[in-house]
Amino acid sequence: MSKTIIVSNRLPVKIYADDGGFNIVTSEGGLATGLGSVYRSGDNVWLGWPGIEVADEAQQEQVKQKLAEKSLVPVFLSADEISGYYEGFSNEILWPIFHYYASTYSNYKQSNWEYYSAVNKKFMAAVMQIAEPGDTIWIHDYQLLLLPGLIRAEQPDISIGFFLHIPFPSFEMFRLIPWRSELIEGMLGADLVGFHTFDDASHFINAATRLLPYNSSSNIITVDDRPVVVESFPMGIDDEKYAALTTTERVKQEAEHLKETFKDKKLILCIDRLDYSKGILQRLQAFEMLLEAHPEYREKVVLHMIVVPSRDGVPQYKELKQNIDRKVGDINARHRTIDWSPVNYFYRAFPIETLSALYHTADICLVTPMRDGMNLVSKEYVASRTQETGVLILSEMAGASKELIDAIIVNPSNINSMAKAMVKALNMPVFEQRRRMKLMRQVVSKFNIKHWVRIFMESIKEVKQMQQSMRSR
């Protein structure tokens, strides 16, 4: 029987070294939830890096066995590979360029490229150990751009889908990368290349046809007689899970506690991974502008800001952390009173129940990335608003803004307009909140994660059928 192999840089688990052994906790992330039904059924598996360095062979075997019980297959990376492939090439070259941060953030070291190629080959070898003709391989994200091409060279007929979770930049940005043609060639090893938005898909087609001698017609690029379909598949969330969470005892209790704590205040919520693409500093500036221009909101509004630690081995992330700490300290020091701190800042991860209580309670959710492939926080907020009130302020640079058009849409570089959007949100009448929230909830529920997985998998099959019928003509 044929199977599906999911491949991503990171496995959907967190592994902790614990008393000489290892403890494995399954992740609550959107992709993990969405693909849960896929990789846990039949002979299907998910292959990826376990997220920590396990150098000792006996320990690797131990981790491997523990993961096998969960249909997971580890690809172990050495400290040098983590540094060159993950931190160096993926997060100091691809991540900044794909999020439109040129030069200052990109570190085009040849050795990083070599590690990136070598680790993609390592993933290919791991896939080839389990792949058989007739299987479907679904590869995820920018850390594995070369993998589709590497697998195609080994197994010319196998079905390969590739999905990019971050933006694909315009050609003028993408062309800056010294290894641009190799990256496109790698992605074109897939039968189906998916993006969150139509713009990302067109940027990719544009880059592919300008850099390589392939023709395209509409959304199909022909690579040596093999049609590759390029399509947008906006990713959704498990909306029912977020709605159901709000009815659990624990979430209800936490929500009650929040309501009591902030009873005479409006709560503005933001939740992000620590990342310069998330616009955290710009958002703080806008909040400060609100406090300065509107003294009537002093002691009446709180910015509850959760920043989840991320990629702290990459220098720009460490620097950003210091800048955020300083900015929050400065705002609180200037504006706080004995009874009130304007910014409640947390630098850590929280359990999903706490996030759910916050989403359910917050009057406003502020999601203002400078660039974001999709942004699932915005959708999680909407899914948690079972009471149908609440206001979402959303950056036009997030893929989600193409779907959640009833949010207050802002340009995150325009600090003034973000401050005005907060005033508008703070004063939005309840009937208007409901009108907008209902419409957004319909979108989030209709185009949920199950729908996303289903249409992507069906599309791979359709592309394969199209290729076969073309060959038999």
Contact 241/380 with Cβ under 8 angstroms? no
Best CA proximity match to 467, nearest among 179, 85, 158, 62: 158
Q: Among 4, 5, 10, 453, which residue interacts with ligand G6P (rule: CB under 6 A)?
A: 10
Q: Tell me the closest approach of the beta carbon of residue 245 to ligand G6P, in angstroms.
A: 21
Q: Tell me the closest approach of the beta carbon of residue 310 to ligand G6P, in angstroms.
A: 5
Q: Locate 87 and state its tokens.
A: 């931190």
Give the residue nearest to ligand G6P (CB): 165
Q: Locate 339 and state its tokens.
A: 């009874």
Show contacts with ligand G6P in window 276-295 (CB under 6 A). Answer: none
- Closer residue to ligand G6P (CB): 95 or 287: 95
- Closer residue to ligand G6P (CB): 140 or 385: 140
Q: Tell me the closest approach of the beta carbon of residue 206 to ligand G6P, in angstroms.
A: 22
By CB under 6 A, is residue 27 in contact with ligand G6P? no
- Closer residue to ligand G6P (CB): 361 or 395: 395
Count of Cβ atoms closer than 10 Å to residue 68 Cβ = 12
Q: Tell me the closest approach of the beta carbon of residue 141 to ligand G6P, in angstroms.
A: 4
- Closer residue to ligand G6P (CB): 33 or 310: 310
Show contacts with ligand G6P in window 133-162 (CB under 6 A). Answer: 141
By CB under 6 A, is residue 371 in contact with ligand G6P? no
By CB under 6 A, is residue 311 in contact with ligand G6P? yes
Q: Tell me the closest approach of the beta carbon of residue 284 to ligand G6P, in angstroms.
A: 22
By CB under 6 A, is residue 310 in contact with ligand G6P? yes
- Closer residue to ligand G6P (CB): 24 or 466: 24
Residue type, 324: I
Q: Tell me the closest approach of the beta carbon of residue 9 to ligand G6P, in angstroms.
A: 6
By CB under 6 A, is residue 166 in contact with ligand G6P? yes
- Closer residue to ligand G6P (CB): 246 or 277: 277
- Closer residue to ligand G6P (CB): 324 or 374: 374
By CB under 6 A, is residue 99 in contact with ligand G6P? no
Q: Tell me the closest approach of the beta carbon of residue 91 to ligand G6P, in angstroms.
A: 6
- Closer residue to ligand G6P (CB): 66 or 278: 278
Q: Tell me the closest approach of the beta carbon of residue 387 to ligand G6P, in angstroms.
A: 29
Residue type, 190: A
By CB under 6 A, is residue 272 in contact with ligand G6P? no
Q: Among 66, 152, 165, 436, which residue interacts with ligand G6P (rule: CB under 6 A)?
A: 165
Cα dihedral 56/57/61/62 (nearest 10): -30
What are the φ and ψ backbone dihedral angles of 305, each rounded to 5 degrees?
A: -115, 110
Number of residues that bind ligand G6P (CB under 6 A): 6
Contact 186/146 with Cβ under 8 angstroms? yes
What are the φ and ψ backbone dihedral angles of 458, each rounded to 5 degrees?
A: -65, -40
Interface with ligand G6P by CB under 6 A: which residues? 10, 141, 165-166, 310-311
